[in-house]
Amino acid sequence: MTAVGSDEVGPHRQRIIAAAAELTVTSGWASVTMSRLAEIVGVSRQTVYNEIGSKPALAEAMVLDELARFLAVVDKAFEHHPGDLIPAITEAVRGALELAQGNTLLHAVVSATHGADTELLPLLTTHAGSLLSTAKAVVADRLRPFDLALDEHELEVVIDMVVRLVLSHVMQPSATPAQTADDIAWIAGRVLAG
């Protein structure tokens, strides 16, 4: 799988995004500046701007880069269960939730809302358009080979529901990843059965 947002890749882009993520985890989003990133990566500040754009664009690039890791887990689950939809969904959801548990960047984004200004959390919640559309496109591609008794609109609704439900549990887990995965797969299975 190629990196999400890879259509705008310059020679230093991934290193800049990785440095921004590391800096966010260790020092907080407020400490991330283009000058500091330039120093860490060993390029000019103008190069950082040329590769990334603005700080909000950097925030979105960082979130989409992290999303690529989650979507790789989804891809792998469907590869493990090429003809068996419910086990594929179960493994995909469990894998994503397990990845979220130990994800230091995700924890930094969520914890930043407690007393710190951040542009990151809205990218996972109220302004999650890029994240949601990218995730839904991957899930739709993975569901295409299955013979589902739903028309295109109904399938879009189911995919939207499942992706939003998983994102909700990523942000605020209510049970173990295994239990939540079983529950979401049960719901998805009932709906996808038509």
Question: What type of residue sits at position 43?
Answer: V
The pLDDT score that the predictor gives to residue 132 is 87
* 44: alpha, beta or left? (left if phi > 0; alpha if psi -120 to 50): beta
CATH number belonging to domain 56-192 = 1.10.357
Q: What is the b/e burial string over 80-105, where b = at least 16 CB atoms within 10 angstroms of the residue's CB?
A: eeeeebeebbbbbbbbbbebbeebeb
Question: pLDDT higher for 180 or 117?
Answer: 180
How many Å from the N-terminal Cα to the C-terminal Cα in the chain? Answer: 30
- pLDDT tens-digit map of 117-165: 556 666 566 556 778 899 999 999 999 899 898 999 999 999 999 999 9
Whole-model pTM? 0.82
- pLDDT tens-digit map of 57-115: 898 888 889 889 999 999 999 999 998 999 999 999 999 999 999 888 887 777 655 44
Query: Is the confidence at residue 192, as pLDDT, over 80?
Result: yes
Neighbour count for residue 112 (Cβ, 10 Å): 18
